[in-house]
């Protein structure tokens, strides 16, 4: 049996169909615009006024979903889903580089992603100061966040056998005096051994062929020069005074006189856990024993290394640091005692 629709009913159905066909594309377009708006909003910075950085560590093997979750949990992005979408539609999938990064809520998803893809890991400076003993350096490395075990391993001279900077160092001697003072870039994942190796590389560069030749002209081995430079480094500060002090110590050493350096006595006392006195008997006390101490007493800068290579052309045999911050040099004991009585009242007592 055939069903016959009246002409009006057919027209109504056609009209409804036309309305549906018009509404659906409009709805889809509206939905698409909403999604685009949502996406654009959610890849913007979370808070443009907040520049406070947070350190985030992306582990090896993390995918974009895991990275998105990590960023979201640290309140650095608006939406983890929007982040994933951005990474995928921009062809960044699989390009996440592991490491520790510094991000802030003022960064957009694009900024954050580019930083991760380019491996722009956070870096900071670790500074090794001059005139520092190994014990002082150990404390400094602890403050930089390294563990006692890693520090002990990094300062073990056996780890650097064959390094050219250590060519004149006795096999059983420590790295005292060889850790060159400089600032080095590091990330949160930089092993301390990498920093120490870089420092030794700098020390090797400082010990140029020209300096070594100059040491030989002074009748000194590189080891002897480093020992004297370490004393000069601790005793005086200005380049002019260091050249004069180097001349004093070299002249005394060659003539068989005691170096008479207070700082060597203090170093030996601290090394052996004894009273910090110029009279404390240790092999390092050059007020008691003739010749050089067994090794350097602290690390050295290029300034002191150069002072030993090119000492002042004087006949000084004595010097004293005055209460006024001036170093007074003299040729005779009588002159030295007179200058000491006049200028070193507080420090010498």
pTM to 2 decimal places: 0.77
For the chain, domains (ranges, CATH) are: 54-117 (3.30.1490.480), 124-205 (no CATH), 221-316 (no CATH)
Q: Report which DSSP code applies to 107.
A: S
* Helices within 90-238 (DSSP H only): 109-117, 134-143, 148-154, 192-206, 209-217, 222-235
- d(C-alpha 96, C-alpha 59), whole Å: 10
pLDDT at 263: 97
Percent of the chain with pLDDT over 90: 73
More confident: 320 or 20: 320
Residue 6 has pLDDT above 70, yes or no: no
Question: pLDDT tens-digit profile of 290-342?
Answer: 999 999 999 999 999 999 999 999 999 999 999 888 999 999 999 999 999 99
- Cα–chain-centroid distance for residue 87? 33
Residue 89 has pLDDT above 70, yes or no: yes
Residue 213 Ramachandran class (φ > 0 left, ψ -120 to 50 alpha, else beta): alpha
Among residues 304, 305, 283, 303, the alpha carbon closest in space to that of 295 is found at 283
pLDDT at 5: 47
Instruction: Give me the mean pLDDT over the 246-256 stretch.
Output: 97
Residue 208 has pLDDT above 80, yes or no: yes
pLDDT at 18: 67
Buried b (16+ CB within 10 A) or exposed e, 272-307: eeeeeeeebebebbbebbeebbbbbbbbbbbbbbbb
């Amino acid at each position: 049996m055939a069903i016959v629709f009246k002409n009006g009913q057919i027209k109504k159905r056609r009209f409804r169909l036309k309305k549906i066909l018009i509404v659906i594309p409009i709805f889809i377009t509206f939905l698409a615009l909403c999604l685009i708006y949502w996406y654009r909003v959610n890849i913007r910075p979370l808070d443009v006024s907040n520049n406070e950085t947070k350190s985030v560590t992306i582990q090896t093997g993390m995918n974009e979903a895991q990275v998105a979750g990590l960023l979201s949990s640290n309140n650095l992005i608006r939406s983890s889903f929007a982040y994933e979408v951005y990474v995928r539609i921009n062809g960044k999938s699989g390009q996440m580089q592991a490491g520790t990064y510094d991000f802030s809520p003022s960064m957009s998803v694009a900024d954050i992603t580019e930083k991760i893809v380019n491996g722009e890991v956070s870096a900071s400076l670790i500074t090794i100061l001059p005139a520092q003993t190994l014990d002082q350096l150990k404390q400094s490395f602890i403050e930089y966040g390294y563990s006692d075990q890693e520090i002990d391993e990094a300062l073990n001279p056996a780890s650097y056998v064959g390094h050219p900077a250590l060519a004149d160092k006795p096999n059983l001697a420590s790295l005292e005096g060889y850790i060159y003072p400089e600032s080095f870039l590091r990330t949160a994942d930089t092993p301390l051994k990498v920093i120490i190796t870089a420092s030794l590389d700098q020390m090797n560069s400082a010990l140029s062929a020209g300096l070594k030749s100059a040491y030989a002209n002074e009748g000194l081995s590189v080891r002897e020069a480093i020992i004297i430079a370490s004393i000069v480094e601790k005793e005086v500060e200005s380049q002019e005074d260091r050249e004069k002090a180097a001349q004093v110590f070299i002249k005394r050493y060659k003539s068989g006189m005691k170096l008479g350096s207070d700082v060597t006595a203090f170093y030996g006392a601290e090394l052996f856990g004894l009273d910090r006195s110029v009279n404390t008997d240790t092999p390092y006390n050059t007020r008691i024993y003739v010749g050089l101490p067994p090794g350097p007493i602290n690390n050295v800068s290029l300034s002191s290394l150069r002072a030993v290579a090119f000492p002042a052309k004087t006949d000084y045999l004595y010097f004293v640091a005055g209460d006024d911050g001036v170093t007074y040099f003299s040729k005779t004991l009588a002159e030295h005692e007179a200058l000491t009585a006049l200028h070193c009242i507080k420090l010498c007592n």
